[in-house]
Structure 1
C-alpha cells in the first residue's frame, strides 16, 4: 500500500486568519501606544509604573517566544508567526482593556 503524500498546498484559511489576527494586533498596539503615551505624559507614580510594566511585559513575551524557538516549538514559518501574534496579542488586548477602563 502506498503512503499518502503530504499536501504541499498552502493552508489559505490559516494564512487568512493569521493576516486578520496580525492586522487586529497592529490596531490594538496602536491604541495601546496612544493610551500609554497619554498616561505617561501625565507624569507621576502612575506613569512610572506604566513604563516599568511596559518594559517587563516586552521582556516576558520575548523570553516566552525565545524558549519556544530554542526547544523546537516553532516548527514552521507559519507556526512561528501564529505563535508570535498570539503571544503578543494576548498582552496587547489585556493592556488595551485595562487602559481604556
Structure 2
C-alpha cells in the first residue's frame, strides 16, 4: 500500500478546519472575557482552569508527536493537531455557552 500525494483539496480543507478553530476559539474567548469583566461566580476558577487546560492540551499533543501518533506527513500532523485543539475548544464551548 502506498501513500497518496495530498491534493490541493486536502490542504484547502485543513485551511477551512483551521479557520473554524479560530472562530470557535473566539467564541470561547469572548465568553470567558465577559465572565471576567462582570466577575461572574466562578470566574476565578475559570481563569485557573483555562491555564491548566492549555498546558494539558499542549502536553498531550507533544506526547503524541514524540510517540509517532501524529502521522508521517506534514499534512497528517497538521490535520491531527487542528483536530486535537478543535475537540478541546468544542468541549469548552459546550461547557461555557450551554
TM-score (norm 2): 0.84
Determine if contact 1:41/1:47 at 8 Å carries over to the other structure. no
Q: Aligned Cα RMSD in Å? A: 2.0
3-state secondary structure, aligned to 1:35: helix
**Deviation of the 1:45 alpha carbon:** 5.0
Deviates more, 1:38-47 or 1:48-57: 38-47
Pairwise CA distance, 1:71: 1.1
TM-fit CA distance, 1:17: 2.1
Structure 2 distance, partners of 1:59, 1:80, is 19
Report the number of matched residues: 97
Task: Choose from 28, 35, 48 the match for 1:39.
Answer: 35
Structure 2 unaligned spans of 5+ = none
Unaligned runs of 5+ in 1: none
Aligned to 1:73: 69
Stretches (4+) displaced over 4 A: 4-7
Kindly provide the CA deviation profile for residues 24-50 of structure 1, in whole angstroms up to 9, marking residues without a partner as x: 100011111111011112226511111
Greater mean deviation of Cα atoms: 11-20 or 49-58: 11-20
Alignment-derived partner of residue 53 in structure 1: 49
